[in-house]
């Protein structure tokens, strides 16, 4: 896996007044070049030396810390020209340990064959340790032309930097065998020769290590804030691509009082009824089986239909047979008269009924459940994708089905991050914080039918986070971490993910709480959720993003349950769409007090998240009584 950081250098893209097309294009081309073999992250900074250097320094630090032997590529676009704001080459070249002047001149001379303007573009290629650094011009067209050339040798350059001897010799062999040569993007008439020394690439200088450190961190997040729907779309797409796995589980409790192993799982295919229920004509009432045509009158009680037995009797006209609710109606009888509509006429010395009087007339079929009237053999008992809870286990038991095919559940890791954290029962000293996210998430998962298979804590260091993630990836399908995803100097998650092969799909979401929520996937199919550390943010983003992903993973319907409620009090709007917590009880809705993302009390007993729109020029508040969407997050 090649870890790639793509940096777009552009004042206008960084300010949001222009759309970055080159960064996404580089990403697209790299993915085409090595499908599934590149872990990409993107960043955008203004034409500012410190910001550009900061971006490179973070990649180099990561590459240095990465002992896995993966290759690291930093590739920027923009700021390589000669205008006063173009500073990329000036920012990067002093940091390079080696400059690849041959590659740089090849890029220019081959691109010049397409357009003479290429001689003004000054691409920069070099290395720092095991990190390859490539700085390309900003226009998408120029990026395309440079990449056409670069991809012909990029694999080989990365092999050289990582000292992969076998790959290097195979590259040479293949070049020799095929007589392959490096080609220009599109051959045009030969233009004037451009000498490599005129490419504008500055001479190699020593690395200025003092430029690495917190002082050079990004001062603004470069992660775009995705709308919640878009974030959800990316998550669903990733969770859907995981192949559903099936296993067979028992529907029978292993010991009395214990749950059946299949409880809480989801059926992998439809389960059909094997038997009719009832499997005999059953009485709906305690009373007498009769021939409806006989009508009211006095009748001899000839037999008793006992529960659990078949009397074998064929009822004849002029007689009745006593039956109990659910008992078998004897052959010959075609209706049941309830005991309330009869009177005793005579009895035997031992207290048995002899004759009774039927007081009302009944029509054929009265109070009889025909065979298969509840469930007919071949009926759909459980559809595929059905969660097996109490009623479903009852249904399976009613059919004598002792094993069922279900979808496997993901192995889930819940990990807290932060040096300040102590486990809730431990001694605490000043500056420390008790870990409430681990128990809250663990029990949210349990309440939603999932078990945590791994729980851990990562201290705040790039090394600990990287190694911790590496180890979690071996033992979990879905990894949740809390904390370490925002702008703090100890927030390492977003940097660590690419180092362990993660593709980060988003690093911020336009919502409150939950802004720095991060989502990544791994080549072996694992899903990663970087939930914010603030306790409310962690719980809300679990409900909004993680739970639907778990449902999709299991092949369940993931649509949230929503209702409309009246906003109980007027609220000023936040610039971000806000999810405020509320309790719905006996038809009344009340907010849970202060809605700060650190205030876990705002989650207490909350069963609704009320969705408020973002503030706009025309709408700055929502009045009490306005109907708003409410997502149901707990029992009502």
CB of 491 to ligand MOO, least distance (A): 13
Is position 482 an interface residue for ligand LQZAQKY5 (rule: CB under 6 A)? yes
Nearer to ligand LQZAQKY5 (CB atom), residue 268 or residue 534:
534
Nearer to ligand LQZAQKY5, 138 or 535 (CB): 535
Q: Rounded to the nearest whole angstrom, what is the least distance from the CB of residue 35 to ligand LQZAQKY5 in the complex? A: 32
Compute the radius of gyration of the chain from its Cα atoms. Answer: 36
Cβ–Cβ under 8 Å, residues 376 and 273: yes
Nearer of residues 381 and 546 to ligand LQZAQKY5, judged by Cβ: 546
CB of 420 to ligand MOO, least distance (A): 16
Residue carrying structure tokens 């010799």: 169
Token pair in block for residue 395? 């249904």
495 part of the interface to ligand LQZAQKY5, by CB under 6 A: no
- Six token digits for residue 177: 């065998």
Q: Which residue of the chain is nearest ligand LQZAQKY5 when measured via CB? A: 533
- Report yes or no: 76 and 43 within 8 Å, Cβ to Cβ: no
Q: Site mask, ligand LQZAQKY5, residues 522-561, x = CB under 6 A?
A: ----------xxxx-x------------------------
Helices (H) and strands (E) in the chain, counts: 15, 35
Give 399 or 417: the residue with its C-beta nearer to Mg ion: 417
Nearer to Mg ion among residue 127 and residue 597 (C-beta):
597
Q: How far apart are alpha carbons 369 and 327 in whole angstroms?
A: 10
Closest approach of Cβ 516 to Mg ion, in Å?
A: 8
Burial (CB count <10 Å: 0-12, 13-18, 19+), residue 569: exposed
- Nearer Cβ to ligand MOO (407/515): 515
Q: What stretches of 10-108 adopt beta strand conformation (E)?
A: 38-45, 71-77, 98-99
Beta-carbon contacts of 395 under 8 Å, excluding residues fewer than 6 positions away, are 375, 381, 382
Residue 76 near residue 13, CB atoms below 8 Å = no
- Considering only the stretches 365-373, 380-388, 407-415, 511-519, report the one whose residues sit in contact with ligand LQZAQKY5 under the rule CB under 6 A: 511-519
How many Å apart are CA 134 and CA 147, to the nearest integer?
Answer: 10
Interface contacts to ligand MOO, rule CB under 6 A: 512-515, 532, 534, 537, 597
Distance CA 220, CA 234 (A): 24
Decide whether 81 or 513 has the Cβ nearer to ligand LQZAQKY5.
Answer: 513
Tell which positions 586-605 bind ligand LQZAQKY5, by CB under 6 A.
597
Integer angstrom CA distances of residue 309 from 282, 313, 323, 484: 12, 11, 11, 68
27 CB neighbour count, 10 Å cutoff: 18
As given in the structure block, the two tokens for residue 447 are 């309440």
The Cα–Cα gap between 278 and 132 comes to 74
d(CA 589, CA 568): 6
Residues that bind Mg ion (CB under 5 A): 486, 488, 491
Question: Least distance in Å: CB of 548 to ligand MOO?
Answer: 18
Q: Is 507 in the site for ligand LQZAQKY5 (CB under 6 A)?
A: no
Q: Which of 487, 562, 619, 636 binds ligand LQZAQKY5 (CB under 6 A)?
A: 487
| Least CB distance to ligand LQZAQKY5 at residue 439 (A) | 9
> Is 283 or 486 the residue whose CB approaches Mg ion more closely?
486
Q: What is d(CA 601, CA 593) in angstroms, rounded to the nearest whole number?
A: 8
Q: If contact means CB under 5 to 8 A according to the sort of partner, which of Mg ion, ligand MOO, ligand LQZAQKY5, none does residue 231 touch? A: none
The values of phi and psi at residue 292, to 5°, are -55, -35
Number of chain residues interacting with ligand LQZAQKY5 (CB under 6 A):
27
Q: Which residues bind ligand LQZAQKY5 (CB under 6 A)?
A: 416-418, 420-421, 433, 435-438, 482-488, 491, 513, 515-516, 532-535, 537, 597
């Amino acid at each position: 896996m090649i870890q790639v950081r793509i940096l777009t250098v552009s004042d206008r893209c960084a300010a949001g007044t222009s759309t970055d097309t080159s960064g996404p294009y580089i990403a697209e081309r790299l993915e085409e070049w090595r499908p599934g073999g590149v872990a990409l992250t993107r960043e955008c900074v203004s034409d500012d030396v410190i910001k550009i250097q900061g971006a490179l320094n973070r990649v180099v630090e990561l590459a240095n810390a990465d002992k896995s032997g993966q290759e690291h590529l930093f590739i920027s676009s923009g700021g390589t020209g000669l205008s006063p704001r173009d500073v990329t080459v000036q920012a990067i070249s002093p940091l390079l340990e080696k400059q690849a002047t041959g590659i740089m001149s090849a890029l220019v001379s081959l691109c010049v064959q397409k357009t003479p303007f290429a001689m003004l573009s000054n691409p920069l290629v070099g290395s720092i340790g095991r990190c390859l650094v490539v700085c390309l011009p900003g226009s998408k067209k120029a990026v395309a032309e440079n990449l056409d050339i670069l991809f012909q040798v990029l694999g080989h350059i990365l092999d050289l930097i990582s000292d992969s001897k076998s790959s290097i010799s195979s590259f040479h062999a293949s070049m020799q065998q095929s007589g392959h040569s490096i080609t220009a993007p599109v051959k045009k008439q030969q233009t004037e020769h451009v000498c490599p020394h005129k490419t504008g690439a500055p001479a190699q200088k020593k690395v200025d290590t003092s430029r690495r450190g917190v002082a050079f961190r990004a001062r603004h997040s470069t992660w775009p804030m995705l709308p919640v729907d878009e974030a959800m779309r990316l998550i669903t797409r990733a969770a859907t691509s995981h192949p559903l796995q099936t296993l067979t589980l028992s529907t029978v409790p292993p010991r009395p009082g214990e749950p059946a192993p299949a409880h809480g799982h989801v059926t992998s295919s439809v389960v059909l009824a094997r038997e009719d229920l009832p499997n005999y004509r059953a009485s709906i009432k305690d009373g007498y089986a009769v021939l409806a045509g006989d009508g009211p009158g006095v009748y001899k009680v000839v037999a008793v239909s006992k529960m659990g037995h078949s009397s074998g009797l064929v009822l004849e006209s002029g007689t009745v047979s006593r039956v109990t609710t659910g008992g078998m109606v004897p052959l010959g009888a075609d209706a049941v008269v309830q005991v309330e509509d009869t009177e005793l006429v005579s009895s035997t010395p031992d207290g048995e009924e002899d004759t009774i009087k039927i007081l009302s007339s009944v029509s054929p079929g009265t109070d009889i459940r025909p065979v298969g009237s509840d469930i007919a053999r071949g009926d759909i008992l459980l559809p595929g994708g059905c969660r097996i809870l109490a009623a479903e286990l009852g249904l399976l038991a009613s059919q004598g089905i002792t094993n069922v095919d279900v979808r496997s559940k993901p192995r889930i890791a819940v990990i807290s991050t932060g040096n300040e954290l102590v486990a809730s029962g431990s001694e605490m000293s000043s500056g420390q914080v008790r870990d409430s996210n681990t128990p809250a998430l663990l029990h949210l998962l349990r309440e939603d039918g999932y078990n945590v298979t791994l729980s851990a804590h990562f201290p705040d260091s790039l090394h600990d986070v990287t190694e911790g993630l590496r180890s979690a990836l071996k033992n979990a399908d879905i990894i949740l971490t809390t904390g370490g995803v925002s702008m703090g100097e100890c927030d390492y998650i977003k940097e660590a993910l690419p180092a362990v092969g993660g593709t980060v799909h988003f690093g911020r979401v336009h919502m409150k709480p939950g802004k720095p929520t991060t989502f990544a996937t791994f080549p072996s199919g694992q899903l990663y959720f970087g939930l914010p550390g603030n306790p409310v943010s962690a719980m809300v983003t679990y409900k909004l993003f993680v739970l639907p992903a778990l449902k999709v993973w299991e092949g369940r319907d993931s649509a949230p349950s929503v209702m409309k409620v009246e906003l109980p009090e007027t609220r000023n709007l936040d610039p971000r769409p806000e999810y405020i917590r509320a309790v719905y009880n006996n038809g009344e809705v009340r907010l849970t007090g202060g809605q700060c993302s650190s205030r876990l009390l705002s989650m207490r007993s909350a069963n609704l998240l009320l969705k408020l729109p973002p503030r706009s020029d025309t709408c700055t508040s929502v009045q009490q009584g306005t109907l708003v969407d409410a997502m149901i997050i707990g029992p009502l």
